[in-house]
Structure 1
């Protein structure tokens, strides 16, 4: 059986509670329909361009927030914080990370960000203390699913990609990691995904 010595986790929807659920809940609260944010970011050209721009650091967070507000027809003030207000730490995942580190497994966060600015979704998570490496997309001018960001992350961990397990709640982020030799885990149902990760890392 392949022995994996590294664990790479997405932030929103893996280290946190349901990311896409938070987007839907915001949309409902604002009276926009349950998929308003997802629709703007995935199915409009301007929304997609803004998202990729803020993720890889080409578009400042403030400009992304203003663009998103205009496309949604809502107030831009504090928009990102309002959208992600429901996110909380996923304690089961953080406990698994601590267990993995005690077993000598290197751990990393690999997150596509919504830019660096007045809103910091990572505040309060103590990522630098909890993980061996933290890679935030806009800070390295790369973003998932570019294969280079997966290589960059495993290099920071001191491991080849083939020694790593990569976990994300977005399906299209997995194939590039798997092409590099990583074991990909889609994080949809927490108990199922956690069991799969524990099995791959042999930390049952």
Structure 2
């Protein structure tokens, strides 16, 4: 999805997906671990080990992607069994990860309100290609002026290149862009790229902070 640049927009609000437009990742991790019968600590450690094998973090191997989801799931099973002695079936990982996971309706409403005020609203997500259908099921593309997923552009947050690309796609300068993200490293990366950023804790808090930024960038009404 490619936007038509709108240089008259006062601000480009780029929202993360997982953990922002969805329930907190920590909640989903716990529910998923229970669903597949694997201790949470061992699942996270296996993800870290597999990511390290590919020179990245826990999700980097499938976010770009370096491997597909099925290969990644099989490698997680191998680590769980070989390192921790835990037999696990992680087939159809994404289907089970997103099962029963609702969109954050309060945040969707806030994004729509930002657009109504004239802001450019985009999604900027480290998202594996096989998970796009789940994302579209949860929230329709029509809520966004543009969507950038890591696998489509061969880079991911917090790499500076993805922020450069997103600002260019919005047609705005870096300081006119704001990232809303639940991960501190992504917030820091955005700020280092010259962006503004909001560390997402909940929809109400983030909406207040973005609204203040919009207030600061919107022109004052003309005096009559």
TM-score, normalized by length of structure 2?
0.79
Identify the residue that residue 166 of structure 2 maps to in structure 1.
Answer: 153
Please name the residue that 1:83 is paired with.
97
Q: What's the counterpart of residue 70 of structure 1?
A: 78
- DSSP 3-state at the match of 2:29: helix
Note if contact 1:110-1:136 (Cα within 8 Å) is conserved in structure 2. Answer: yes
Aligned to 2:31: 25
The worse-fitting range, judged by mean Cα deviation, of 78-87 and 92-101 is 78-87
Determine if contact 1:162/1:181 at 8 Å carries over to the other structure: yes
Larger Rg, first or second structure (1 or 2): 2
**Do residues 174 (structure 1) and 174 (structure 2) align?**
no
Q: How does 1:1-204 map to 2 (within 5 A)?
A: 5-42=11-48, 45-46=52-53, 48=56, 51-72=59-80, 73-113=87-127, 115-117=128-130, 120-202=133-215
Per mean C-alpha deviation after superposition, the further-off stretch among 33-42 and 157-166 is 33-42
Contact 1:6 1:165 in 2 (8 A): yes
Q: Deviations over 1:114-172 (max 9, x none)?
A: x2238733132454311011001011111111011011111111111110111111111
User: Pairwise CA RMSD of aligned residues?
Assistant: 2.4
TM-score (norm 1): 0.86
Q: Per-residue deviation at 1:50? A: 6.6
Shift, 1:63, TM fit? 1.5
Per the alignment, in what secondary structure is the counterpart of residue 37 of structure 2? coil
**CA, structure 1 residues 34+51, in 2 after alignment: closer, same or farther (shift >3 Å)?**
closer
For 2:36 and 2:93, the matched residues in 1 are separated by 11
What's the CA shift for 1:111?
Answer: 0.6
Confirm or deny: 8 A CA contact 1:4 1:164 kept in the other structure.
no
Q: Name which of structure 1's ranges 132-141 and 173-182 shifts more when overlaid on structure 2.
A: 173-182
Structure 1 runs (4+) deviating above 6 angstroms are none
Structure 2 unaligned blocks of 5 or more = 1-8, 81-86, 217-224
User: What is the rounded CA distance, in whole Å, between the counterparts of 1:106 and 1:35 in structure 2?
Assistant: 39
Segments of 5+ residues of structure 1 without an aligned counterpart are none
CA distance in 1, matches of 2:201, 2:180: 10
Of the structure 1 ranges 30-39 and 161-170, higher mean CA displacement relative to structure 2 is found in 30-39
